[in-house]
Amino acid sequence: MEKMEKIHLLMVDDEVKFLETITERLKLKFFDITSATNGKEAIEAAEKGRFDVAVIDLQMPGIDGVQVLEILKKNHKYLEVLILSGHATIETAVTCTKLGAFKVLEKPCDFDKLVEAIKEAYETRLKKKFEHDEIRIKQIQALALGQSPLGILKELAKMDEAEK
């Protein structure tokens, strides 16, 4: 039987009991989860690990969900972010969407609806990454025609630098 790759998930919520409960339930669905209880922890975790999807509480003390969303999307090109909020307004949802949130879900959120949203976000991440990789392969193929090996390496270095 082929082993399915787990979705690497970053869960961020300042309500510790909720975070523990939802994390345990999601682990049963075979997600690989790292949890954080505030924005600072979330940003640090994202710098140390590779995540496919982040689920972030909107209202947290210190660095709030909007700020975490903005930082994560800026620093992690293919990370998809879901926002959970018990206090979301249409204005907040629009702001989060403009900053790159995949979805804004109302809290408390139906567990199955959350799992489905995480899977949808993961599929979107894979699609974006695949499209990017296809473009990159075409660029590399174009480079290979008529260039010296050193010229190809220099151009690849430029492409890598542009990705950062």
Least confident of 3-7, 69-73, 147-151, 160-164: 160-164
What one-character DSSP code corresponds to residue 59?
Answer: -
pLDDT(125) > 60: yes
Counting every residue written for the chain, the total comes to: 164
Tokens standing for residue 109: 């959120």
44-99 pLDDT, tens digit each: 999 998 999 999 999 999 999 999 999 999 999 899 999 998 877 888 889 999 99
**Arithmetic mean of pLDDT, 36-40:** 96
pLDDT (0 to 100) of residue 4: 57
pLDDT (0 to 100) of residue 163: 67
Class of domain 8-127: alpha beta
* In the chain, domain spans: 8-127
Give the span between the Cα atoms of 82 and 69, in whole angstroms: 9
Asked whether 15 and 61 are in contact (CB, 8 A), the reply is: no
Query: Which residues have CB under 8 Å from 123's CB, separation 6+?
Result: none
- Exposure of 18 by Cβ count < 10 A (0-12 exposed, 13-18 middle, 19+ buried)? middle
In the chain, the percentage of residues whose pLDDT exceeds 70 is 95
pTM of the predicted protein model: 0.82
Give the span between the Cα atoms of 55 and 104, in whole angstroms: 10
Q: What are phi and psi of 31, to 5 degrees?
A: -90, 150
Asked whether 150 and 142 are in contact (CB, 8 A), the reply is: no
Buried b (16+ CB within 10 A) or exposed e, 98-119: ebebbbbbebebeeeebeebbe
